[in-house]
Amino acid sequence: MPPPKRHAIRAARNTDLAAILALERACFVRPGEWFNRRQVARLIGNPRAQVLVIQMGKHLAGWGASLVRQSRESLSGRVYALAVHGDCRGQGLGKKLFARLVAHLRRRGCRYICLEVRSDNAGAIGLYRKLGFAEEKLLPDYYGPGLHAWKMVLLA
């Protein structure tokens, strides 16, 4: 694996909105899978969310988001978004970004951490498995008719 170019992982700002939306369009084929402007803006402003971007020069190479949820008894976490631009994949950036999101959820006290991923997304599933997640439940038609998802959970 070639070493990644100089980059910095930092918290997203409102001024990153357009670049994050462009990443979504570049990384996902179906419009139904994209986050829209309102969703991303809400995430950035949500104190329970961590929204990170990978800055590479003037451009964003990736972004990701996680959310903490409070139930009556405990905190749980969800990795909500993860995308690395096609030109920047295979350099360990996705793994690094994902690991940062998960570490933050753990620091916030989440014992249970989960995510959803398209059941045919072998790349992302491989990455999540490498970082300790396992498929828990198949969610039929989660992303639309015939587009199933795996719910994956972090094994303690």
Q: Determine if 140 is a binding residue for ligand COA (CB under 6 A).
A: no
Shortest CB 39 distance to ligand COA, Å:
15
Which residue matches tokens 């402007």?
Answer: 37
Which residue matches tokens 């096609």?
Answer: 86
Q: Determine if 84 is a binding residue for ligand COA (CB under 6 A).
A: yes
In 10 A of CB 9, how many CB atoms?
17
The count of residues interacting with ligand COA (CB under 6 A) is: 19
Q: Determine if 123 is a binding residue for ligand COA (CB under 6 A).
A: yes
Instruction: Please give the single-letter amino acid code of residue 125.
Output: I
Q: Determine if 130 is a binding residue for ligand COA (CB under 6 A).
A: yes
Angle (CA) 65 70 72, round 5°: 160
Shortest CB 24 distance to ligand COA, Å:
9
Q: Determine if 122 is a binding residue for ligand COA (CB under 6 A).
A: yes
Gap between the Cα atoms of 77 and 92, Å rounded: 23
Shortest CB 109 distance to ligand COA, Å:
24
Which residues have a Cβ under 8 Å from the Cβ of 57 and sit 6 or more positions away? Answer: 5, 6
Chain residues that interact with ligand COA, rule: CB under 6 A: 27, 82-84, 89-95, 117, 121-124, 126-127, 130
